[in-house]
Structures are given as C-alpha cells and as structure tokens.
Structure 1
Amino acid sequence: MHTVRAVVARAEGEPVELTTINVPDPGPGEALVQVQSCGVCHTDLHYREGGISDDFPFLLGHEAAGVVEAVGPDVTGVAPGDFVVLNWRAVCGECRACKRGELQYCFNTHNATQKMTLAEGTDAGTELSPALGIGAFAEKTLVAAGQCTKVDPSARPAAVGLLGCGVMAGIGAAINTGGVTRGRSVAVIGCGGVGVAAIAGAALAGASPIIAVDIDAKKLETAKRLGATHTVDSSQVDPVEEIRRIAGETYAGAEGADVVIEAVGRPETWKQAFYARDLAGVLVLVGVPTPDMTVPDMPLLDLFGRGGALKSSWYGDCLPSRDFPMLVDLYRRGRLDLDAFVSEEIGIGDVEAAFEKMHRGDVLRSVVVL
C-alpha cells in the first residue's frame, strides 16, 4: 500500500481538496504509475460539478504521463521503468468491435479492479471514483495495464501527457473521425483545447483552408499559431456564411467546408456546423453536450438533401497503442507543437485556481507537474 498526496472532489460544486489517499500494490492486470504530469481538463471540472455522475468522492485528473513503478504478476505489455502516457481506453480484445478489428471502438474498455481510498479524516477508507478510470492528480495512481502506452522517454511529460485526453480527442476528430486529407477544406467551431488540437490535426494532414471559428480573439490567435489559415469571429459575423465564402474562394462552387468539426457541444453551434458543410460533407461532433440538450426544428429534408455524414468522435476514435507513439514522434521531430498547449506548469495544490483560469479563458491547459 502507498500513501500519497492527491486532489479529491468530495461533494458536488465544492472546491477540490488536497489530501492523502491509499493506493494498493498492483494486482493481476494492473500497473502502479508514478505520475510526473497531469493536465487540468474541463472534464475534471465536469466531475467536480456533478455533470458526469454523482459517485463522489472523485479522484480527479486524467491527462497524464509518468513512469511505471510496478505491475501485476500477469502483465507483459509494460514493465517497471517504462515512460507512459495514460489513456482511458484499455481495449478488451474480446468484444464485437475488437473481434472485427475495430479496437478503437472497443465497447468493453476496463480500469483497475482494486480501489484507491481516502487515507485520512472521518471518512478514511472511503473508496474513490477515479476520473475516467485514471485519477492522476496524485503522486501515484493505479490503472489497468492496458491504460499505459509506452512512448519515447525523452519527450517532455507535461506536453505528451495531454495526448491522454483533449489533444488526442481533437487531433483524432480531424484525422480519424473526419478523415481529413490533403485537398480537403476544414472548419473548426470552438477553439478551446480540443478545437485547436483539431486544427493542428488538420494541418498535419495537409488540409486547406483551415477555418477557425470562435468569439474569443485570444483563442483565434492560438488557432492561427497551430495551423488555421483563416479565423472567423462569430460574435461579429455569421459563421456559416463566412465558412461558405472562404471555402468557395478556394474551391469554385463549394457550398461550405468538406469537414466541419464542432468542438463546443451546444445545439446552436452544432446547427451552424451542419449548414456550414459542403454538399456530401462531414460533420464531426467532438464537443460534449449536457444530457438536457436537444437539436430542435431540424427539417428531415435538410438531413437528406445535404447528404454526407454526421459523426460523433469518441476520444478522437483513437487507438492509443497506435496513435500515441506516432504523435510523440511527430512532436520530437518538430512537426507537432504539443508545447504550445501548455499555458503554465503548476503544483498539485493549485488545481482549484486552475479551474478559475479555465473559466476565464486565460489558459489553454494548466499542467500539474509532480
């Protein structure tokens, strides 16, 4: 058993707490990871606010990199000393998706079996719910061995750890889900961490034009640094008309972008993305909506008449064992600027303050460094 410092959300809407937790030694199929870095993601805030479940207390943090300290007796994929990026898709290899070779859609992903627990206070011994099955705002965490993806140990942990969620979700939304390639036009609505990652993915794939849409000038400037060729301030102009205009200037007759990625998760921006597509274009929803959101007043004839595809992107439809090492290699060769996503490095006691900066739009990612 290991007693370590960790960030816990004890109750809905309350500030997070830096406390101590107990982390078991790894059992069969498990790995103990010494965490080196973990990004502060909107999903962690959703957990704190009760927007994902009410299974409090939560051990927050999931965009992490670290070193494997120990593994269970039957683990062969990783070993102590391996530098890994953690993921929340440990594929089972047995479900219907896996058996047809579509491991990126595994319907039975799994986490560690043993539970981490609170180590102090009147509720000592209470089992923790780790965010996305990881719980990495902690000096050490216990995960399923399949959640560890070995990558080049020379890479900067604070940068490559972000592949564990938001950056991979955005890059994958463009390349894996949207099928972006050379000769395709792309628009991204919403330029937070996931949206600008989608822009970076589109740039990697050679798309042009790449149109960034947001209401925040700072976010649009970041989008340009990461590959956007055009920016649209949707508080000043109609984004659908602007996307159509820009795409039409590049490809005569185009009625919109070939691929439009919605990275906000709201009905109004989803509808903008739908109508900003070219005929037979692809809409990718990677922004996460809340359970109460609906898309009203959509004529069925519009769905039929524009053709194409309406897709949702789960974790960028990634396969960590395939995608993480490839993207880390691109980062090391200077082709993917993961450092640009790290706005600041903070201590483990600074997560609550990082949530406030996130609310104000002051940061792309705050990253806890241990």
Structure 2
Amino acid sequence: MAEQRVRGVVARAKGAPVEVTTVVVPDPGPGEAVVRVLACGVCHTDLHYREGGINDEFPFLLGHEAAGVVEQVGDGVGEVEPGDFVVLNWRAVCGVCRACRRGRPWYCFDTHNAAQPMTLTDGTPLTAALGIGAFVEKTLVHAGQCTKVDPAARPAAVGLLGCGVMAGLGAALNTGNVRRGDSVAVIGCGGVGNAAVAGARLAGAATIIAVDIDGRKLDWAQGFGATHLVNASEGDPVAAIKNLTGGFGADVVIDAVGRPETWQQAFEARDLAGTLVLVGVPTPEMRLDVPLLPFFSHGGALKSSWYGDCLPSRDFPMLVDLYLQGRLDLDRFVSEEIALDEVENAFAKMHAGEVLRSVVVF
C-alpha cells in the first residue's frame, strides 16, 4: 500500500481552535504499525498541547486515549499482526535501559515512538500527542505502543485505559499499593480521581473518601465506589478525612488535582506511616514548602505516579478482563460519544467539568 490520506484533528497554533484536516499516514517502517482508530477519549493533556503547555512543537495531531484495529505492520514486528484489537499506550518499553534491565520496565527511560512522522498534505510534519495522535481515522505508532486485548470489549470504554483511567487506577493499585481493608482518600474527582476511587474499590479498600468542591463530581465518585463524600467548599477536608478514619487519617491519600494546596492537604490527611500519591499534574511554577520534622516524624511515603506506574502489556489485558467480568465499570467513564468535528466543543465541556470523558467514535 502507498501512504494513506485520512481525516484528523490538528492544533496549528497556541490557543487556536483545533481543526479537522487531511493527515498523511505513511506505510509502517521497521517496528511500526498503522492502526485504524475505533475510539479516542478527549483528555486534559490534549488541551494542554493545544494551549502550548507541553511544548511549542506545533502543529500537533491530538488524541491519545485510543483503541483500534491493527491494519499494517512493518518489518520485524512480532507482538501484533493485522486484525488485532489493541489499546494504544505511550510507554512502549525499550527492554534495554537501566530500568528495564533491573526488572522495572514501568519506569522505562527510553520508550519508543514511531520513527516516521505523519504530515499535513504540504509535507509539514505533525507532532503526535504523547507519540500517538489518535484523533484521526488511522494513526502510525511504534508496534510496542499497541497492546492486544480481548476484542469483545467496547472500544470507547477500554480505549480510556490508554491514559487517564490507567493513571488513576494505577495510582491506587500500583503506586499507592492499596490493600484489602485500607482507608483511602482521593482529592479531586474528575476522570483520573474517579479512576483512583474505582481502583481503591477493586483493591478491596474498606473506606474510600472522595473529596471535591463540585457536588456533581462527588456523585460520580459515589457511583465508582466511594463510601464517603467530602465537599471541600463546605469545610476543612483534612479534618473531615480524619473524622471519617477514627481521628487517624487515611492509609493512602491520592492527590488527583496536583496543586500545592491539595498536596498539603493530602500530606496532612495521612495516618502515621501513610502513603501520599501525587497523580495530578502540576505546572512548572508550582512550589512546595514542607516542614521537615512532620515529614520525618510521620513516616510513610511521599510518591508521584506517572501513568499509574503501569506496564501496558501486563495491566491492560488484565483490566479489560475485569471489565468484561463486570468487576470494573469502564463504561461509566464515557459521558458521551462524539464525532471527530466535535472535539473543540468537548474541550469546553471538559473545562467546565460537565463530563468525565467525551469519546470520539469513528
């Protein structure tokens, strides 16, 4: 096959509305795959790209929370083949860096992306969001970015494992290491925070406290398994978390907002030897001023969770199986299904907190 021309969503300049335009997808080279995209979620990270918050390598081909079907593979590809149903990921591990060699591939320091760029029709190379670029009918990725899962699963739901939902689930299951009977507090109940609530429930936490200032998001959290709801606009959330845990604080507190104020609340809301997990993404100018003695005397762990410390080849198939068994309600994250030309409107809904996820369905 020759190169293919497909429709995709491109951000041409900082802050400018995105547009649907023609994208040129080359044939896959060695180690690469072309994937026909079936569904792709609208994530805050895509909005960060459009606003220039990631880098200034415009134009961007947006979209990265995707599921699809492998259509072509390049030379040397053995992990997937045409016809495979896959969830795309941005952690195609290298297998040879110091993290991989030490048996910690979820920390891989040299992850793979496709070597060739997709382009506009005039040859301008596109920067694919998180090395994926999936608001497009077909995308070119490294084959290691394709994780084969059960084709019985709904693409719009399981594609969300590609980023935000995996980040939240992993913050609880992997980074926070939540165990049966634990108490867990989650600060911030958007898509990532509610996934952390779902992860805590999946792990068997006995007490799951959801904290937000938006009553609608707290209602969502209750649907995902929160046992207690705290509206932080009505009082001190730290006091509320301690009150709900016998005065001690939670075993694991997950900050899914990523601001110094919420991190400080999470720090203070832990039990002795408790764990704080930061999974909300801060901005470059944010700083912490932490008294060292309380950190020392309180013990425990202060951790950050990058992509939920996931290993896609291990975690995606397992989580899709749990979804198909009815034990993990990924459908609940899909607020609406939209068309490709509705992405700009979906950004506005997401910014206003009206949706957990809008999902482009092809």
TM norm structure 1: 0.97
Percent identity of paired positions between Structure 1 and Structure 2: 74
* CA–CA separation in structure 2 for the residues paired with 1:65 and 1:42: 18
Alignment partner of 1:357 out of 330, 333, 349: 349
Deviation per CA, 1:47-74, whole angstroms, max 9, x where unpaired? 0000010110000000000000000111
Segments of structure 2 that go 5 or more residues without pairing to the other structure are: none
* CA–CA separation in structure 2 for the residues paired with 1:302 and 1:12: 42
| CA displacement at 1:187 relative to structure 2 | 0.1
Residue 347 of structure 1 pairs with residue 345 of structure 2: no
Alignment partner of 2:292 out of 282, 289, 300: 300
| CA displacement at 1:235 relative to structure 2 | 0.2
* CA–CA separation in structure 2 for the residues paired with 1:345 and 1:294: 38
Alignment partner of 2:136 out of 135, 138, 144: 138
| CA displacement at 1:237 relative to structure 2 | 1.2
* CA–CA separation in structure 2 for the residues paired with 1:317 and 1:178: 10
What is aligned with 2:211? Answer: 213
Secondary structure, counterpart of 1:289 in structure 2:
coil
Alignment partner of 1:321 out of 290, 313, 325: 313
Secondary structure, counterpart of 2:303 in structure 1:
strand
Secondary structure, counterpart of 1:270 in structure 2:
helix
What is aligned with 2:166? Answer: 168
| CA displacement at 1:356 relative to structure 2 | 0.5
Q: Bigger shift: 138-147 or 254-263?
A: 254-263
| CA displacement at 1:295 relative to structure 2 | 1.3
What is aligned with 1:366? Answer: 358
* CA–CA separation in structure 2 for the residues paired with 1:52 and 1:266: 17
Residue 286 of structure 1 pairs with residue 288 of structure 2: no
Deviation per CA, 1:334-357, whole angstroms, max 9, x where unpaired? 000000000000000000000010
Residue 197 of structure 1 pairs with residue 199 of structure 2: no
Deviation per CA, 1:224-246, whole angstroms, max 9, x where unpaired? 00000000000001000000010
Secondary structure, counterpart of 1:280 in structure 2:
strand
* Structure 1 residue runs of 4 or more that deviate by more than 2 Å after TM superposition: none
* CA–CA separation in structure 1 for the residues paired with 2:11 and 2:260: 29
Secondary structure, counterpart of 1:117 in structure 2:
coil
* CA–CA separation in structure 2 for the residues paired with 1:325 and 1:299: 42
What is aligned with 1:9? Answer: 11
* CA–CA separation in structure 2 for the residues paired with 1:73 and 1:56: 30
| CA displacement at 1:110 relative to structure 2 | 1.2
What is aligned with 1:77? Answer: 79
| CA displacement at 1:305 relative to structure 2 | 1.4
| CA displacement at 1:137 relative to structure 2 | 0.2
| CA displacement at 1:192 relative to structure 2 | 0.3
Alignment partner of 2:21 out of 4, 19, 29: 19
Segments of structure 1 that go 5 or more residues without pairing to the other structure are: 249-253
Deviation per CA, 1:290-330, whole angstroms, max 9, x where unpaired? 0011113x211111111110000010000000100000001
- Aligned AA for 2:301? A
The Cα RMSD (Å) is 0.6
* CA–CA separation in structure 2 for the residues paired with 1:299 and 1:87: 38
- Aligned AA for 2:26? P
Residue 115 of structure 1 pairs with residue 117 of structure 2: yes
TM norm structure 2: 0.99
Residue 235 of structure 1 pairs with residue 233 of structure 2: yes
Residue 62 of structure 1 pairs with residue 64 of structure 2: yes
Secondary structure, counterpart of 1:290 in structure 2:
coil
* CA–CA separation in structure 2 for the residues paired with 1:189 and 1:139: 36
Q: Bigger shift: 18-27 or 299-308?
A: 299-308
